[in-house]
Structure 1
Amino acid sequence: MEEKVGQLAQIAGVPYESEQSEITGPVAEMGIPRKLLPIAGSVLGVSGAETVKRIQDNYLKENRLGIPLIFMVDVIHGFKTIFPIPLAIGASWDTDLAEESARIAAKEAAVSGVHVTFSPMVDLVRDPRWGRVMETTGEDKYLNERFAESFVRGYQNNNDYSDPYAIAACVKHFAGYGAPEGGRDYNTVDMSERQLREHYLSGYKAGIDEGAELVMTSFNTVDGIPATANKWLLDDVLRKEWGFDGVIITDWASLGETIPHGVAANEKEAAQKGIDATVDMEMMTFTYSNHLEELVEEGSVDEEQVDQAVLRILKLKNKLGLFENPYRTASVSDEGSIVFSEENRQKALEVAENSMVLLKNEQNTLPLVPNEEKIALIGPFGTDENLLGAWSWRGEPNTASQVLESMRKVVNEDNLLYSKGSNIEEITTEQLEEAVQTAEKADTIVLALGEHWEMSGEAASRTNIKLPDAQLQLIKRLSELKKPIVTVLFNGRPLDLNGIEEYSDAILEAWFPGTEGGEAVTNILFGKANPSGKLPMSFPENVGQVPIYYNRFNTGRPYESAPNDKYVSKYLDSSNYPKYDFGYGLSYSDFELSPVQLSKNEMTPGDEITASVTVTNKGERAGKEVVQLYIRDLVGEVVRPLKELKGFKKIHLEAGESEEVTFTVTEDMLRYYHPDQTFRSDAGEFEVFINNSSHTSHTETIVLTNK
């Protein structure tokens, strides 16, 4: 029994980095029981082929049954070759590129000894104050579903573990973690079951249906019960309703945190609630290790419950081939040739170029023409190495391409000026004066601005989602020179762009773009790459509108019905609408979409309708456009969103080229969760929209009948 319980424990790799008999200092403070060291099931946060092999060797010498450790880490958007943050990958609207990025991350991780990644994070989020929005793919369930599938396919190579480079994916954080009150990390989540099912659960289910081997619980409550101890959520929904028989693992210490939550009086009760909820593996608290044996002995826990948890963990180890080869693909020589290879970096460049969103481009300020004018690059991100984001883990900032060094490859020395302008959060009089003097000598100013990488990510919630005052002061002063300003933004969340938007002639949202960020920015600024990204999340006009999202409900007093009436749903001091809508993004090409054409206007439940538009590139350069299908259910048993994304296609068109883009509308696309929690459609009228953003009036009406 002690060995069984040991398999349910995950320990941070620190104890195994030194003599296992010694637990002192920080390791002792973690409360790791000494008895766990030769029997624990998993190690967290260790990679590197040599290190992993050494730890596995030492462990197997002490483990009586020769059951190997499984190594799990956070490979979120790349291992050593860092891709753009997941929110940026979502902005690519390119699921094939997402899958390729995950395959590369898996390959680099596998040769470095990793077996499981805690990715993808598929939490739907509508509040940019929450720091972990950077790890999601945005505010829409359909978009999240498609990216969840792509990431799982990429990591697990379509569930083919004969591929030595496939690693197991862990869908997280189950469930509703992206909806904390006030956007504050770890905070309470409170919503109806219908809302949870309608919008928040579908991303997890898409990843699970694609074959994800693990699910990680979330820190938050669901209907007043912490997710990690929520039997309805984990056993009734995840296990029984969805048929998931993989490993459920807690997030860091979240089972122990049921005590401060106030649903467990002590560790013993926490262990009872965790095993009853079918949690298999406990990360970095030790309630199972300290109390499960006792609970079984006294009859509070059936030994079969423990056996089932152990079996799920052993099955995962077996599926990965660890009993035959406990090192799996770990290889020092392969690390040297595969990790951070030039081929991988080129793919990171491609993903970064596709993820950047051109938000504004007045009078065709962009693209810039090399060496036809003097350009002043100003701002703290001109030479900042921290373009990787908060979850890059093994990424090395000093290996990332920088904006200035990349621009120097295409602009000669006489035509490229540089000044730092400010630090990220501070500015001196000398910095400001130098920036002004530099800008005065230039024809166009390129400002590289953004958040510090620690301003987004876990435990990085903010009430102020503007850029720091130092940078706002910088752009305002430079605007007084009356020269064109191109602002490039590096950030991990949608921003309140007041103080930026009004002074910028062009705005490029670069996010945290990863290893090849500087190169990608330069390619877009100078037209070598044509921006094609679309926002996966709305940008508010100001933080007071948050949460603001495209698929909102109408009200009984909609603003649009009487915009000059006081007694409608509106703000007195702000618009109802975002600054930049979900699905929005400009291009250097000029795409024109025809009116929507339907194959017919009426359908029955077993029928389908094709909806199409003709897209024409009327610009002078080739480019990519994301064509988006939205549907609105005009009357339902419950209030339905004003529109919902139901399909998208990213197409490439040469200058002057046209293409017909067709979507198939089926009855299952019209279903929703009713008050009795059944998922079905209603007969009636539906509006069909096709456009290149969620802000669309290209519509036709279809009728679903029960005939």
Structure 2
Amino acid sequence: MKEEKLRELLSSLTVTEKIGQLIQVPGNMLNAEGQELGVRDELGIGEELLRNVGSTLNVVGAGQVRRVQEEYLKRSSAKIPLMFMADIIYGFRTVYPIPLALGCSFEPELLRRLCEATARESTAAGAQVTFSPMGDLVRDARWGRCLESTGEDPHMNAAYVRAMVEGFQEGLSEEGAARGLASCVKHFAAYGAPEGGRDYNTVDMSERRLRQDYLPSYRAGVEAGCEMIMTSFNTVDGIPSTGNRWLMKDVLRKEWGFEGVVITDYAAIAELITHGVAADQKEASQLAMEADVDIDMCTGCYGGSLEELIREGRLTMEQLDAAVWRVLRLKNKLGLFEDPFRGADAAEEERLSLCADFRALSREAAVKCSVLLENKDGLLPLSLDAEKRKAGEPEAPAAEDAKAAGRVALIGPFVDRKDALGMWAIHGDKNAVVTIREAFAEMPGLSFDWTEGCEALLPEDYTDLTALSQSGERELWSEERREKEWSRALVLAGEADTVILALGEDPVQGGEGGSRTRLTLPGDQMKLLYEVKKRAARVIVVLFAGRPLVLNEVKELADALLLVWYPGTEGGAAIRDMLFGVSEPQGRLSMSLPRSEGQLPLYYNHFSTGRPYDGKTVNRFFSRYTDCPNTPLYPYGYGLSYHSAAYGPVRLSASVLGPGESITAAVDVTNTGSRDGVETVQLYVRDVTGSVVRPVKELKDVQKLFLKAGETKQAAFVITEEMLRFYGRDLRYRSEPGRFLLGIGPDSSVRLDAEFTLTEK
């Protein structure tokens, strides 16, 4: 529709019809058959308003979308199509690794490809807007929604968000194209920094910290052209985001020039009352509208208040029209006025759902995101015994140095678990998930025994587990089954040459509302590891998780430790391929793994303090713990490989960097191992002296080099003045002249042993 016609449409709407466009209702308010649009008491929305709502939440499936849209348009007086929005976070029917895992790939292009595939799969099912990516920077593993973030580093977080927006929205701007999802970047802002790691809790930080570390990812999404921003539940400087005019208008709209739609998170306008900044729904609605918040997600605040606020003069018709215009403009960009059923095609939905290409992409992603934390004595990769290989070769020949697996036992609560996908795989097909047991059964020449051994979770580890059991959502084992599984696990461990022990964090422990104070393995899993270790010749731990865990004991007991996070639909196949050397785990940690929960929040790019501790001095008057090292158990960027690499000295093309100039930092990287592999080369820089304290180091760039055995390649990084900018004492974003230290290596523990100077002239 041409803009002139769209303006005419806006002018023709009644006040009720306009307000309706700013209301999103949950999918359960639209009957499953799309035949009944009755009033729901919980929102208090009148029948006329309900028949003109602008959007709905998590209604997907081509047939379902068509039925709901058809019935809605019959009843709507405005005849403006509904917009169908959904939580499509890390895949649709095909599920990919969780975003925290994807952050371990250090490959934004991978995320762009995944999101483009997700858009194709979900638009065929009628989805039009996705509430993804989550741009929240995370540094506290107690917070359950770590799994939705790409990690602790502002530079990589921004790069990933940009790539994801571009992937989701590929083809969206093409006229008449039923391709691409409108991307909603969330949660604006700083939702990932709640006090105590407790979800929905207070966020309180300086403006400098907010701008330097937490806002870049959201801004990257805006610069990539995201169509929507979602407000966060938390406060920013004592004011909840949903009613924060400085954040939503001054920063987002005026500074960044965002002209798209702003939507609240679920019921966030009503929560302004609970926060204590609004007395009632009317005042909460006024605060949100004055902050340029366009869509009220799933409350009756706008529906019950806006008309009266305009009548009383507390809001203007111009404010209402501006919000409605942004919504109509997005619907127009989606092509809904020409095709209200945009993309919803049952035949195409069936063709694309879990298709071979998407499953292959899921497996590729799982390999690139899995982090090898330990590999003592080069235990991995394994190989089949020579006599077993005669019956059927594995998919790739075993390396000469691979260890024969011998008699294999699969043990642990995650060896055959299909729901280890994380909280937000809500549209995924769990039945399509390949488990470790299933993947091993498909491998020619491999024989194994298996058992779960113990439950992943016990009631004392999760306060809601008993309630889930009573409601029928979760089955608790009987005492008889516990004893049987435990006994079988110990027998198998004693008989096996190699035990593959699949342990982890139960998916219900993480995600939204999934904050934890203890980050060790739950249930009897550690006890199982101890008992298996007593009996087994060698133990390989495959670890599932949605956040960094405290793994001190696991590190000591495991002969090899592979962190696979929640790896997605093809997780089991990817794990098998990595264990037997068909693939090399390529992941590097996107969050530091702590030694203790007491270290949290924990991140590599911290300040030095006035009394930094060198780890050696015996003196209590330094910034340190008396019962634990300051350092993480495993640092940001860390990950082992099946190859080994040696780094030469850093070479700088110049020692002085002036305005408009650049310096090249180069290093030779040699594969000193017997296997080909991918090395993730990381560039870190430190600003030695500034007008404000600067981090001890900051990641500035990454390169992934494929190296054949014995091969040497150069990694070269271009450094410019723009890369060195920060928010100084006056809160202006600029660089400052002075000394800079630089290091290139495999992770954030690299020494900064090169130096250059930035000059003003």
* Separation (CA, whole Å) in 1 of partners of 2:553 and 2:718: 43
Name the residue aligned to 1:41. 54
* Separation (CA, whole Å) in 1 of partners of 2:86 and 2:694: 40
Q: In the TM superposition, what are the counterparts of 1:549-560 in structure 2 within 5 Å?
A: 549-560=603-614
Once the two structures are superposed, residues 335-388 of structure 1 have per-residue CA deviations (whole angstroms, 9 ceiling, x without a partner) of 111121111111111111111000110101111112441111110101111122
Name the residue aligned to 2:110. 97
Aligned-pair CA distance for 1:699: 2.5
Q: What SS is found at the alignment partner of 2:41?
A: helix
**Does 2:331 correspond to 1:298?**
no
Name the residue aligned to 1:136. 149
Q: What SS is found at the alignment partner of 1:616?
A: strand
Aligned-pair CA distance for 1:596: 0.8
2:432 to 389, 399, 413: 399
Once the two structures are superposed, residues 97-147 of structure 1 have per-residue CA deviations (whole angstroms, 9 ceiling, x without a partner) of 111100111011101001000000010010000000000000000010110
Once the two structures are superposed, residues 572-619 of structure 1 have per-residue CA deviations (whole angstroms, 9 ceiling, x without a partner) of 110100000000001001111111110011011211100111111121
Count of aligned pairs between the two proteins = 704
Contact 1:550/1:581, CA 8 A, preserved across alignment: yes
1:216–1:22 distance in 2 versus 1, CA, 3 Å: closer
* Separation (CA, whole Å) in 1 of partners of 2:614 and 2:442: 51
* Separation (CA, whole Å) in 1 of partners of 2:183 and 2:155: 20
* Separation (CA, whole Å) in 1 of partners of 2:647 and 2:553: 33
Unaligned runs of 5+ in 1: none
Name the residue aligned to 1:230. 244
Name the residue aligned to 1:612. 666
Name the residue aligned to 1:314. 328
Q: What SS is found at the alignment partner of 1:103?
A: helix
**Does 2:58 correspond to 1:4?**
no
Aligned-pair CA distance for 1:408: 2.1
Contact 2:520/2:551, CA 8 A, preserved across alignment: yes
2:220 to 206, 209, 215: 206
Contact 2:685/2:752, CA 8 A, preserved across alignment: no
Q: Which amino acid aligns with 1:530?
A: E
Aligned-pair CA distance for 1:30: 4.6
Name the residue aligned to 1:503. 557
Name the residue aligned to 2:79. 66
Q: Which amino acid aligns with 1:304?
A: E
Once the two structures are superposed, residues 22-80 of structure 1 have per-residue CA deviations (whole angstroms, 9 ceiling, x without a partner) of 647xx433544433321101011100011101111111112223211100000000010
* Separation (CA, whole Å) in 2 of partners of 1:277 and 1:6: 19
Name the residue aligned to 1:688. 742
* Separation (CA, whole Å) in 2 of partners of 1:434 and 1:291: 63
2:502 to 448, 463, 467: 448
Q: In the TM superposition, what are the counterparts of 1:273-422 in structure 2 within 5 Å?
A: 273-371=287-385, 372=404, 373-410=406-443, 412=445, 415-422=447-454
1:110 to 100, 123, 141: 123
* Separation (CA, whole Å) in 1 of partners of 2:616 and 2:642: 37
Name the residue aligned to 2:29. 15
Contact 1:255/1:285, CA 8 A, preserved across alignment: yes
Taking structure 2 as the reference length, what is the TM-score of the superposition?
Answer: 0.91
Runs of 4+ in structure 1 over 4 Å off = 18-22
Name the residue aligned to 1:85. 98
**Does 2:194 correspond to 1:180?**
yes
* Separation (CA, whole Å) in 1 of partners of 2:546 and 2:736: 39
Q: Which amino acid aligns with 2:50?
A: L
Q: What SS is found at the alignment partner of 1:125?
A: coil
* Separation (CA, whole Å) in 1 of partners of 2:735 and 2:342: 48
1:218–1:560 distance in 2 versus 1, CA, 3 Å: same
Name the residue aligned to 1:120. 133
* Separation (CA, whole Å) in 2 of partners of 1:343 and 1:594: 39
Aligned-pair CA distance for 1:434: 1.5
1:502–1:429 distance in 2 versus 1, CA, 3 Å: farther
**Does 2:230 correspond to 1:216?**
yes
**Does 2:455 correspond to 1:423?**
yes
1:561–1:379 distance in 2 versus 1, CA, 3 Å: closer
Name the stretch that deviates more: 364-373 or 281-290.
Answer: 364-373
* Separation (CA, whole Å) in 2 of partners of 1:265 and 1:23: 29
Q: What SS is found at the alignment partner of 2:209?
A: helix
Once the two structures are superposed, residues 425-467 of structure 1 have per-residue CA deviations (whole angstroms, 9 ceiling, x without a partner) of 2593433221111011111111000111111100000001111
Unaligned runs of 5+ in 2: 1-14, 386-403, 459-476
Q: Which amino acid aligns with 1:404?
A: R
Name the residue aligned to 1:263. 277
Contact 1:50/1:332, CA 8 A, preserved across alignment: yes
Aligned-pair CA distance for 1:658: 1.8
1:629 to 667, 673, 683: 683
* Separation (CA, whole Å) in 1 of partners of 2:364 and 2:340: 35
Q: What SS is found at the alignment partner of 1:260?
A: helix
Contact 1:595/1:698, CA 8 A, preserved across alignment: no
Contact 2:656/2:758, CA 8 A, preserved across alignment: yes
Taking structure 1 as the reference length, what is the TM-score of the superposition?
Answer: 0.98
1:470–1:411 distance in 2 versus 1, CA, 3 Å: farther
Contact 2:16/2:49, CA 8 A, preserved across alignment: no
Aligned-pair CA distance for 1:13: 1.4
1:132–1:677 distance in 2 versus 1, CA, 3 Å: same
Q: What SS is found at the alignment partner of 2:603?
A: coil
Once the two structures are superposed, residues 639-684 of structure 1 have per-residue CA deviations (whole angstroms, 9 ceiling, x without a partner) of 1000001111112122122211111100011111012210011110
Q: Which amino acid aligns with 2:417?
A: D
Once the two structures are superposed, residues 539-559 of structure 1 have per-residue CA deviations (whole angstroms, 9 ceiling, x without a partner) of 001111111110010011111
* Separation (CA, whole Å) in 1 of partners of 2:633 and 2:499: 23
1:330–1:21 distance in 2 versus 1, CA, 3 Å: closer
Q: Which amino acid aligns with 1:670?
A: L
Q: What SS is found at the alignment partner of 1:198?
A: helix
Contact 2:604/2:635, CA 8 A, preserved across alignment: yes
Q: Which amino acid aligns with 1:206?
A: A
1:102–1:28 distance in 2 versus 1, CA, 3 Å: same
- After superposition, the CA RMSD in angstroms is 1.4
Contact 1:589/1:620, CA 8 A, preserved across alignment: yes
* Separation (CA, whole Å) in 2 of partners of 1:329 and 1:159: 12
Once the two structures are superposed, residues 283-306 of structure 1 have per-residue CA deviations (whole angstroms, 9 ceiling, x without a partner) of 011211111111111111111001
1:274–1:353 distance in 2 versus 1, CA, 3 Å: same
Contact 2:456/2:523, CA 8 A, preserved across alignment: no
Name the stretch that deviates more: 622-631 or 474-483.
Answer: 474-483
Q: What SS is found at the alignment partner of 1:77?
A: coil
Q: In the TM superposition, what are the counterparts of 1:654-669 in structure 2 within 5 Å?
A: 654-669=708-723
Name the residue aligned to 2:492. 438
Contact 1:12/1:284, CA 8 A, preserved across alignment: yes
Name the stretch that deviates more: 558-567 or 417-426.
Answer: 558-567
Name the residue aligned to 1:601. 655
Q: In the TM superposition, what are the counterparts of 1:569-608 in structure 2 within 5 Å?
A: 569-608=623-662
Once the two structures are superposed, residues 134-189 of structure 1 have per-residue CA deviations (whole angstroms, 9 ceiling, x without a partner) of 00000000010110011001000165344422110000000000000000000000
Percent identity over paired residues: 46
Name the stretch that deviates more: 246-255 or 565-574.
Answer: 565-574
